[in-house]
Amino acid sequence: MAATDTAENAAAGRPRRRWVLPLRIGVSLALLAVLVWKMNFDTMLPRQRHISTVAWLVAAVGTALIGIVLSAWRWQQVLAVFDMPIRLRILVSHYLAGQFVGNVLPSTIGGDVLRVSRGAKSTGSSSTAFASVALERLTGFVALPLICFIGFALEPSLLEERGAWIALAISLGTLVALGVILVLAASPRLAGRFKDHDNWMRFMGAVHIGVHRLRRRPHLVGAVLGTAVIYQASTVLTVWLATRALNVSVPTAAVIAFVPAVAMAQVIPISVGGFGVREGMLTLFLTPLGVSTGKAVGIGLLWYFIMLVVSLAGAPAFAVGNRRAAKPIGSPR
């Protein structure tokens, strides 16, 4: 259990490389400075604020909170691959705590390390917890490009926009990366050789076991990918609601096509919380559609603010911690 304690301490804000966080802050500030220089602040917020603005914001926050539950459901489906049927409320608590660490606390580690740590207490295996979180993240490599393609299929004229090829390139590149990862993870000679190791390489072996089980149990693949698509669709819906709150006129198909590309780009670990990258990508995709730079940046900042508000709900779960290992469903008490 020492490994999981180390992971949780790291997730609580003790970065191993002190220069990483300042560098990522610098990148975010530089990207935001370029956008601020180009934008007109008068266009960021709607000129007339009505009760509908508040309603759209409340709906967006509610949808984002539902998204946390959906993401925990996705994690639950992945854990089922390892025959670990953990209760959904336990995983929601872990996910909220991870969101709090990743979006609120100044850490270069992110919330996934915390989820692995607490997932290890729930499953009794740090390698299984690591593999489940890794595979759960990989499902986004399928769901996000799929939603992006659906957006272009709904409105083929979007392919004529200058940012379309970038969104498609990101989606195709993501699928290629996923294919490479799955080949490496499925190979008995590569990841599979580590499944019986006792050192840290056993984590790679656990991922191999998960991929192998998915190949032999295709009905689980549908459940895992289905929950992944539903969760990512809730993210797109949250951003669409944010555009409505700011009174930005954006075709729904454009939101479906471009938001997944932004979501894929902002996870690249070059900034803090995706700041600068998210707003820059939204500006790139939406300004050709008649959206001002100020509005595009406003959508990105509101997107983050919504997730920040939802992440604050994870403060109690993070503070209390997982003091007692949660037993899988059906285990003896």
Instruction: Give the separation between CA 299 and CA 303, rounded to whole angstroms.
Output: 6
Sign of CA dihedral 108, 296, 153, 165: negative
Burial class (CB in 10 A: 0-12, 13-18, 19+), 54: exposed
Amino acid 258: pLDDT: 96
Torsion of the alpha carbons at 71, 73, 74 and 80, rounded to the nearest 10 = 150
Query: Any long-range contacts for 70-75 (C-beta under 8 Å, 24+ apart)?
Result: 70/227, 70/230, 70/231, 70/234, 71/95, 71/136, 71/231, 73/227, 73/231, 74/136, 74/139, 74/224, 74/227, 74/228, 74/231, 75/115, 75/132, 75/133, 75/136
| 118 within 8 A of 323, measured Cβ to Cβ | no
Instruction: Give the separation between CA 235 and CA 231, rounded to whole angstroms.
Output: 7
Helix locations, the chain, DSSP H: 2-11, 20-38, 51-81, 88-103, 111-123, 126-154, 164-186, 202-216, 218-245, 252-266, 277-286, 293-312, 315-320
Pull the structure tokens for residue 322.
């997982």
Q: What string of DSSP letters covers 232-268?
A: HHHHHHHHHHHHHHTT----HHHHHHHHHHHHHHHTS
| 268 within 8 A of 277, measured Cβ to Cβ | yes
Q: Going residue by residue through the chain (333 aa), what tens digit of pLDDT does each one get?
A: 333 444 444 434 444 566 655 665 565 666 566 566 555 555 555 655 677 788 999 999 999 999 999 999 999 998 988 888 899 999 999 999 888 887 776 554 567 888 888 888 888 888 788 888 888 888 888 999 999 999 999 999 999 988 899 999 999 999 998 888 777 777 766 654 544 444 344 456 567 677 777 777 777 888 889 999 999 999 999 999 999 998 888 999 999 999 999 999 988 776 666 777 888 899 999 999 988 888 888 898 899 889 888 988 888 888 876 454 444 555 444
Amino acid 154: pLDDT: 96
Amino acid 198: pLDDT: 43
The number of beta carbons lying within 10 Å of the beta carbon of residue 310 is 23
In the 8-state DSSP scheme, what is residue 159? G
Instruction: Give the separation between CA 25 and CA 21, rounded to whole angstroms.
Output: 6
Q: What string of DSSP letters covers 44-91?
A: TS-SS--HHHHHHHHHHHHHHHHHHHHHHHHHHHHHHHTT----HHHH
In the 8-state DSSP scheme, what is residue 287? G
Amino acid 197: pLDDT: 43
Amino acid 201: pLDDT: 47
Query: Any idea where the domains of the chain sit in the sequence?
Result: 2-11+20-35+50-319
The span from the first CA to the last CA of the chain, in angstroms, equals 21
Instruction: Give the separation between CA 276 and CA 298, rounded to whole angstroms.
Output: 12
